[in-house]
Amino acid sequence: MGIKKIGVIGHANKGHVVENIARLFDWAKAKGLELLLEKEVAAKLGSQGYHGDELGALADLVVTMGGDGTLLQAARLMRKSDVPILGVNMGTFGYLTVINLNEMFDALAAVLAGDYRTEQRMMLDVAVHDERGESFECTVLNDAVINRGNYSRMVDLETVVDGQYLTTYRADGLIISTPTGSTAYSLSAGGPIVFPVSNTIILNPICPHTLTNRPVILPETAVLKVVLWTREAGAILSCDGQVTYNLKPGDAISVCKSDCVTNLIVSPRRDYLQILRSKLGWGGSPTVVNRK
């Protein structure tokens, strides 16, 4: 079955995004395709809109227009759908949105012709259940980050893996990342770069008090439990850098591999190593070494 309906999620508050979605609307109409717009974008264009989960159920393809943040939002909104996502980069830096704006229509034409490849990216389920009866749940594509926020002291984070005590991190925080998120906050905190199609969980302390606390790569089957022990007022749990929850002393955060996945359409022109070289400025052509 071919693609007939294309869902669109974009950064509605950026004028150039809305302008280019209007161009996409005209392009789709000329090809007899139906464009389904996310509610905020639709309001800017005076059209009917849909919630993210509705787009996942109705669309054959979803296009995100913005940066990596827009794609992360789309991944969470449509986590229960296996619809492929094509990320169009309208920012200045993107690991997930690898299709540039000037490539958008060519890339879409290739997708319509069936000439494309997807990668299935692992996600994490994050949950907090506390003694007050409050609960919080979120599914992330990049990472879950526990950090001290505006509090002055380090936080103590008792960490258990598969029911076995690992350590109590005394640090500014802790990053629990997917391979996709390994090039996000975890990378800036000294974490490893992990190929995004791998299924592993990266545990990376932020500025740990004990310098031997280093990043740990766990198997995909690992179930984490992190308990916040601190005399300060608490800490902040941040999911994909977009959804936050205020933690209190004694709160327990559980993290495990999700049954949900994100299906990303990858660039037909650049492989992952090319993307790394470009984004990290590693240089172009290889160096020939004379070993005589």
Q: From edge to edge, which strands make up the β-sheet containing 173-177?
A: 216-219, 200-206, 173-177, 143-147, 235-239, 243-247
Tokens representing residue 256 in the block: 């495990």
> How far is the C-alpha of 13 from the C-alpha of 143, rounded, in Å?
25
**Residue 44: its H or E element:** helix 39-45
Catalytic residue, chosen from 26, 53, 68, 82, is 68
Residue with tokens 């969470």: 76
Active site annotation includes 68 = yes
- Provide the CB-side half-sphere exposure for 221 (13 A, CA): 2
- Provide the CB-side half-sphere exposure for 242 (13 A, CA): 17
Q: Which residues are catalytic?
A: 68
